Structure 1
Amino acid sequence: MKTGLRLPEVTFRTRVRDESIGGDNPFRWEDRTTGDYFAGKRVILFSLPGAFTPTCSTYQLPGFEKNADAFAELGVDDIYCMSVNDSFVMNKWAEGQNLAKVKVIPDGSGEFTDKLGMLVAKDNLGFGKRSWRYAAIINDGVIEAWFEEPGRCDNHPEDPYGESSPENVLSWLRGEAARSAAE
Structure 2
Amino acid sequence: MLMKKRIPFVAFRTRVRDETIEGPNPYRWEVRTTEDYFSGKRVVLFSLPGAFTPTCSTRQLPDFEKLYDEFRKEGIDSVYCLSVNDAFAMNAWGKALGVEKVGLIPDGSGEFTRKMGMLVAKDNLGFGMRSWRYAAVVNDGVVQQWFEEEGLSDNCESDPYEVSSPQNILETLRTHNTAAAS
TM-score interval for Structure 1 and Structure 2 normalised by the shorter chain = over 0.9
Aligned to 2:171: 171
Shift of residue 24, structure 1, vs aligned partner: 1.0
Aligned to 1:135: 135
AA in 1 matched with 2:60: Q
Deviations 1:109-163 (A, max 9, x none): 0000000000000000000000000010000000010000000000000100000
TM-score normalised by L of structure 1: 0.98
1:23 aligns with 2:23: yes
Aligned to 2:64: 64
Shift of residue 180, structure 1, vs aligned partner: 1.4
In 2: Cα distance, 1:2 partner to 1:160 partner: 21
Aligned to 2:109: 109
Shift of residue 23, structure 1, vs aligned partner: 1.1
In 1: Cα distance, 2:91 partner to 2:168 partner: 26
In 2: Cα distance, 1:180 partner to 1:2 partner: 14
TM-score normalised by L of structure 2: 0.98
Deviations 1:39-79 (A, max 9, x none): 00000000000000000011110110000111000000000
In 1: Cα distance, 2:147 partner to 2:164 partner: 5
Q: Secondary structure at the residue paired with 2:150?
A: coil
Aligned to 1:162: 162
Shift of residue 19, structure 1, vs aligned partner: 0.8
AA in 1 matched with 2:174: R
Shift of residue 2, structure 1, vs aligned partner: 7.7
**Aligned residues: CA RMSD:** 0.9
Aligned to 2:10: 10
Shift of residue 167, structure 1, vs aligned partner: 0.3
Shift of residue 95, structure 1, vs aligned partner: 0.4
Aligned to 2:51: 51
Kindly report structure 1 stretches of 4+ aligned residues shifted beyond 2 Å. none
Report % sequence identity: 64
